[in-house]
Amino acid sequence: MTAPPADPLTARAGEKGIVRLFALDMAPEQARFLREPGAAAQALGLASLEPGQVDIFAVSDLDDLGLEGYLTEGAGIAPDRVAADRARLRALEGWVMVVRSPAFGGRAAQIRPQAGVRLIGVYAEPGTDWTSDGAIETASARPGGAGARPAPREARARSRRAGAAVFAVVMLIVAAVVLLVAL
């Protein structure tokens, strides 16, 4: 599982699986303006951000889902990671900005939010569990199991043998017919 950074306003080079949530304490027009190219980066004191990795929206747009649901269901954050901030998330009104790790383009970044941009929380997405409970016991997982096809070379050899057998039978029939006609 990815761990949140020690300093929430520092993005490490190559950082993955971190979601930062900022409250936008500003007029709705100003918050909407942050959707313009380069505006969100400027609000965070950065040279640039990948725009597809930054979401800016009014909390009211989430309806019954709420920020907690957005983070757990939309961003894949484990519910126990969000639980500590539940009351704060439910109390938020107005506009927010969600910044995912890929927004920094794999580069290290020191975030310096401007006035009106306030960090609410940093959340780590759960990592992929690559462990296994053991061997897979289905027939299709076994070599030569259900649906297994022979190697191409073996398939060609089988086809040649079948073709040779059919040719030999046809030739024997032709030879028998010729002998019967000749006699």
pLDDT tens across 25-54, in order? 999 999 999 999 999 999 999 999 999 999
Could you tell me where the beta strands, DSSP code E, fall in the chain?
10-11, 18-24, 54-58, 95-100, 109-110, 117-124
* Distance of alpha carbon 98 from alpha carbon 119, whole angstroms: 10
pLDDT at 165 > cutoff 80: yes
Q: How confident is the model at residue 151 (pLDDT cuts 50, 70, 90)?
A: confident
User: Which phi-psi region, left, alpha or beta, contains residue 155 (left: φ > 0; alpha: ψ -120 to 50)?
Assistant: alpha
pLDDT tops 70 at residue 148? no
Domain ranges of the chain: 10-124, 151-182
Helix (H, G, I), strand (E, B) or coil at 71: helix
Does residue 1 carry a pLDDT above 60? Answer: no
For 75-128, the pLDDT digits (tens) are: 889 898 898 899 999 999 999 999 999 999 999 999 999 999 999 999 998 776
Percentage of the chain modeled with pLDDT above 90: 64
Name the token pair of 120.
């609410």
- The pLDDT, as a whole number, for residue 141 is 66
Residue type, 11: A
Looking at residue 137, its pLDDT comes to 73
* Mean pLDDT across 58-69: 92
φ and ψ at 145, to 5 degrees?
-75, -165
